Each structure stands twice: as C-alpha cells, then as structure tokens.
Amino acid sequence: MRHREPALTPVFTWACTPMYTMIERKVSRNPVFERTSDYRDTPKNMISIAKFRIEFNNNGKIGHVETDEVVICPVCGCIHLISKGRRKRGVIMAGDEKIVLMIRRLKCSKCEKIHHELPDIIVPYKRHSAETIENIICGNESDATCEDSTIARIKTWWAAMQLYIKSIIASLAVKYDTKLSAEKKLPELVRMLANTHLWPRTRSALTPTRS
C-alpha cells in the first residue's frame, strides 16, 4: 500500500510562503512606484536618449516620451529598431512630484533584443530622477526631498558605481587608445554606459549585502 503524504495545513502553507511575497502584498499600493529591486523585474536592455519631449495628458501626471533621436541597438549596433508598444515608468521628480512616463519598447530587427527607451532624466532602476540623485551625490542633500535612509542608500550605491565607472573608462581608454573622463554629469554617464550595453543589469550588483 502506497504511503500518502499528509496534506499541508493552511498554517504550514503560509509559513512556506516566500518572505518577498508577503512583503509585496503589504506594500504594493502603487506598482508603478514600487522599489526597482522588485524580484519580479528581470534585467532589461536600455537605451538612454538626450533629445526628447514629454507630452502630458490633461491632468499632467502621465506623459508620453517622444523623440526624433536616431537610436542604435547597444547590443549589436543595428539602427533598425521597431516599436513594440509602451510601458509605464514611474519617476519621483524634484520636489517629490510623482509622474508616470510611457516609454517605448523597441525591438532590434537584427538581434531581436527588446530595449526600453529612457529619457536621460531617468537613472536605470532608480525611482528618483537624475536631478535628485545628482544633488545627493554632489553633496546638495538639502535640495533633495528624500528620506535620510533613501539618501544614505543612494550614496552607498554611488560609491560603488564610481569605482565601476572608473574601471570601465580605464578599460575603454586602453582598448581604443583615447582619453576619457569620469568627471561628467550623471545623465551623460548614464547615456555612455547604457548605450554601450555596460550599465550594470543586475540591481543588486552594486549593492553591499548584509551580513
């Protein structure tokens, strides 16, 4: 006679629920502004654009990002990218104003990778705008309307990011026998790394782990 395992009780089933699932159910009030370390988000390929316009709807809270800039696939260098719709991207602007941008999803006709087209006011995987983050990393915390814990996390992230950027620039300088500088504005650094497929694609890659 085959032995049958006893059915799990509801209490045991709850105890086996992954912790991130319970946390998600507790805090997921507005999924557009969820922390970008959400376990469901898989790393995306990105293209950062400098020339763009944002066309807002009547209430001024949802804006479509439009551009005439010629975008290039950062993976294979192809210029033939096809629009595959849009997705929402929440951003907390300076002054703690929350807006939602509709960004394009572009598919490369050669390598078939999907890319998210980000205006350079956005730092990949960050909720706060590039302006706010730049104020923090430049020591102008008083201009950033963020909690102290958020400011501390951004500073920690930037300390690791600086080392990464300097190592990348040093490698590119040797490879192409040219002089490059890390002393650039944050949006320029984002474009330089994202558009060469060098932006860290794992959210926890530059975040120290807790012991």
For 61-84, the pLDDT digits (tens) are 799 999 999 999 999 999 999 999
pLDDT at 108 over 70: yes
Question: For position 124, what pLDDT does the model report?
Answer: 94
Domain boundaries, the chain: 32-194
Backbone dihedral angles phi then psi of residue 138, each to the nearest 5 degrees: -90, 5
8 Å CB contact between 49 and 101: no
Euclidean distance between CA atoms 15 and 140, whole angstroms: 45
Place of tokens 């709850």: 14
Beta-bridge mates of residue 62: 100
Backbone dihedral angles phi then psi of residue 68, each to the nearest 5 degrees: -105, 5
Euclidean distance between CA atoms 57 and 38, whole angstroms: 28
% of the chain exceeding 90 in pLDDT: 52
Per the prediction, the chain carries an average pLDDT of 78
For 174-211, the pLDDT digits (tens) are 776 666 666 778 999 999 899 999 998 755 555 544 43
Beta-bridge mates of residue 82: 107
* Minimum mean pLDDT range among 14-28, 30-44, 105-119: 14-28
Q: What DSSP assignment string belongs to 128-170?
A: BBHHHHHHHHTT-GGG----HHHHHHHHHHHHHHHHHHHHHHH
Question: For position 13, what pLDDT does the model report?
Answer: 32
Q: How confident is the model at residue 32 (pLDDT cuts 50, 70, 90)?
A: low
* Minimum mean pLDDT range among 26-40, 48-62, 81-95, 179-193: 26-40
Give every CB contact of residue 187 below 8 A, 6+ residues apart in sequence. Answer: 48, 50, 120, 121, 130
